[in-house]
Each structure stands twice: as C-alpha cells, then as structure tokens.
C-alpha cells in the first residue's frame, strides 16, 4: 500500500485500501456488537415504535 498515512495520528485509527473495505469493517463491527445482543429484544423495541 502506498501513501496510507492517517490524516492525524490516532492509535485506534485504521486505514483501508478502499471505501468499501472501510464501510464493511464498520458494519462488521456492528454485527459483532449485535451478536452479543438478543435481537428479539430489538424486535420488541420495534413493537413499541
């Protein structure tokens, strides 16, 4: 990879080759987050809407 320097240094920042990769990484993180949750509870929240 060339020229993959972060705009500012941040120990948690990750740089991806493409926008799609970055978006996929973000959404994968959300999926991992959801895996910890009983999604039926989210469905219940939906019923309250």
Partner 1 sequence: MNEPSYPFSRVDDRFVFEFDSISDTKTVKKLVEFRLLDAQIALYNLALVDILPDGAASDLSVSNNQDMPKVLATVFRALLYFFERNSQAKVLIQGSTKSRTRLYQMAIVKYLAEVEHKFSIWGFIEEDFETFVRGKNYDGFIIGQK
Contact set with partner 1 (CB under 8 A): 1-4, 6-8, 10, 12-19, 21-23, 25-27, 29-31, 33-34, 36-37, 39, 41-43, 45-46, 48-49
For residue 3, the minimal CB distance to partner 1 (Å) is 5
How far, CA to CA in Å, does 11 sit from each of 15, 24, 30, 40? Answer: 11, 20, 20, 35
- Phi, psi values for residue 21, rounded to 5°: -65, -40
Q: Could you give the CA distance from residue 21 to residue 5 in angstroms, rounded to a whole number?
A: 16
For residue 13, the minimal CB distance to partner 1 (Å) is 4
For residue 47, the minimal CB distance to partner 1 (Å) is 10
């Amino acid at each position: 990879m060339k020229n993959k320097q972060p705009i500012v240094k941040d120990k948690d920042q990750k740089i991806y080759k493409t926008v799609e990769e970055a978006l996929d990484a973000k959404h994968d993180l959300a999926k991992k987050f959801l895996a910890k949750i009983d999604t039926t509870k989210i469905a219940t929240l939906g019923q309250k809407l």
